[in-house]
Amino acid sequence: MPQVRSIFLSDIHLGTRGCQADALLAFLRHHDSENIFLIGDIIDFWAMRRGVHWSNLQNTFVQKLLRRARKGVKIVFVPGNHDEALREHCGINFGDIELRHEYLHTTANGKRYLLIHGDEYDQVTRHHRWVAVLGDVAYNTLVRINGWLSMIRRRLNIPGYWSLAGYAKRKVKTAVSFIFDFEDSVVRGMRERGVDGVICGHIHAATIKTIQGIEYINCGDWVDSCTAIVEHFDGSMELIDWREHAVVLATEPAIPDPDAILPEQALPLSLPALIRTIQG
Ligand SMILES: [Mn+2]
């Protein structure tokens, strides 16, 4: 007997070390559904160009999905920017999984939600990109580099003090406004489409809220926040926070190599974590 009508997942980033496949598997074990919607950045082809980290647990997740599809669960996959390679195949069914550019989902209570990844509404500037590249572990590194910079400046007799960490903090403020810009932009787009709401991902910031009459729902991610959206049988939506099941990685994630970052890589990989680090 299914426990929920629909499960909405985004930003799983399979193929990367950061993907919390074990937490995701635990989530799936606890949630049966009639529908599963995968809303982009499920497979991280961008990161896989730099190196593939595909664990057994990630395989198990894919197998479980395929198995559910075989057993009659409707599974729709809307690609995002990290799995945009799949976009050219939209309209095709892979086994029992439907691949779609976007998907109009009607809830049990008749509300119409457009399912999109959301990157098409991302108005990222160069500055935000800088924060995105930073990731969630780099702040302490920044502080250390700042120490080296000060030393170099002293050696070169450059007067004054310039704080790299302070610079990062200012950039994070910009990043927070980036989230608002993104939400506003999505909501404007949805009003034009005449839908009741949107279910998206991309910015790794899960929420359910109403913005100017449009229901804005973001699934979050399975790299940092471990969140999903579920639709109950009465059509109501719930944000499930599965973070407590997330496994703390034994090794610290590597500091991103700036040379390896692709120019279009604008995703704030773990913006909420970065903001917590700096605010905390
Ligand atoms: Mn994305």
Question: How far apart are the CA of 91 and the centre of ligand 1, in A?
Answer: 20
Distance 80 CA to ligand 1 centre (A): 5
CA of 122 to the centre of ligand 1 (A): 9
The tokens describing 145, both together, are: 């580099």
Report how far ligand 1's centroid is from the alpha carbon of 157 (Å).
Answer: 44
Contact (Cβ atoms closer than 8 angstroms) between residue 116 and residue 102? yes
21 CA to middle of ligand 1, Å? 18
What is the 206 CA–ligand 1 centroid distance (Å)? 13
pLDDT (tens, 9 = 90+) of the chain, 280 residues, equals 469 999 999 999 999 999 999 999 999 999 999 999 999 999 999 888 888 999 999 999 999 999 999 999 999 999 999 998 899 999 888 888 999 999 999 999 999 999 999 998 887 633 455 555 555 345 556 666 777 777 787 788 776 666 666 676 666 666 677 788 899 999 999 999 999 999 999 998 999 999 999 999 999 999 988 999 999 999 999 999 998 766 544 333 444 434 333 333 333 445 555 455 444 4
pLDDT for the residue numbered 60: 97
- d(CA 10, ligand 1 centre) in Å: 9
* Ligand 1 centroid to residue 166 C-alpha, Å: 28
CA of 178 to the centre of ligand 1 (A): 14
Cα of 1 from ligand 1 centre, angstroms: 33
List, in order, residues 6 or more apart from 89 with CB less than 8 Å away: 99
How far does residue 159's CA lie from ligand 1's centre (Å)? 42
What does pTM read for this prediction? 0.74
Q: How far is the CA of 82 from the centre of ligand 1 (A)?
A: 6
Q: Which amino acid is at 261?
A: I
pLDDT at residue 260, as a whole number? 39
The answer to whether the beta carbons of residues 237 and 229 sit under 8 Å apart is yes
Kindly report the CA angle at 38 between 33 and 41, in degrees rounded to 5? 150
Domains of the chain: 4-279 (3.60.21.10)
- How far is ligand 1, taken at its centre, from the CA of residue 221, in Å? 10
If you measure from the C-alpha of residue 279 to the centroid of ligand 1, how many angstroms do you get, rounded to a whole number?
A: 24
Task: Give 116 Cα–ligand 1 centroid separation in angstroms.
Answer: 10
Q: How many CB atoms lie within 10 A of CB 166?
A: 12
Distance (Å) from CA 146 to ligand 1 centroid: 31
